[in-house]
Amino acid sequence: MATREHVQELGGWHTVLGNGEFSIHKVYLKLRTYHTWVPWRRVIKNNKATPRSVFILWLAAHKRLATSDRIMKWNVQCSSICKLCDAANKSIEHLFFECQYSSAVWMQILSIINICRRGNGFSHELQEVCRKAHSNTRRARVYVMLFTETVYMVWIQRNLKIFQNNLMQTERLVREIIFRVTARCNDEDRLLLIA
């Protein structure tokens, strides 16, 4: 396609001129597609957790993890019982943090940073972490990392239980999550976890 045709598609020469001269910046702005912002973009973008953990969180936020409810939609036979707690269905909402196992892990993680409450399901917890991600305080940074690593480690435990029939005790899993976060945060942030 000729350059003139491209310029005409963009709205004509007057739309790509700046101070009477051709402006690459204006062409870029015209060619760029705009997407709606997702509320959890800062949770992914500004996250200091391990890249694998951030990726699993990104998949969970997109509802793309291969949970039983999703696998059943593909007409594949599988159990709808959660392998971590042997109850309810196995959706992302249940797995993070309605499940008795993951809820116990999340409650212990929250108690380390002096928050006393139960997990409320993935959507509610993701909203909470989105609010924290808009803050640049030490506590907020650590909270986002803890959430990300917890989602990742619960997902790993779920897979280990399904494929190897092996499940880590909640206390040991909490220690592993704390270790993963302390290994990636700065000295000031680390003090929140080891004090």
Nearest residue to 189 (alpha-carbon basis) of 144, 130, 151, 134: 144
pLDDT at 130: 93
Q: What pLDDT does 30 receive?
A: 74
Give the start-to-end residue ranges of the domains of the chain: 1-34, 41-194
User: With helix as H, strand as E and coil as C, how does 102-163 read?
Assistant: HHHHHHHHHHHCCCCCCCCCHHHHHHHHHHHHCCCCHHHHHHHHHHHHHHHHHHHHHHHHHH
Per-residue pLDDT at 105: 95
pTM here? 0.80
pLDDT tens by residue, the chain, 195 residues: 577 787 777 777 777 788 888 788 877 877 776 677 788 888 998 899 999 999 999 999 998 998 878 887 788 777 778 888 887 677 888 889 889 999 999 999 999 998 888 878 899 999 999 999 988 899 999 999 999 999 999 999 999 999 999 999 999 999 999 999 999 998 888 888 886
Q: What's the pLDDT at 46?
A: 83
Q: What 3-state class would DSSP assign to 90?
A: coil
- Per-residue pLDDT, 58: 94
| Contact between residue 102 and residue 79 where contact means Cβ atoms under 8 Å apart | no
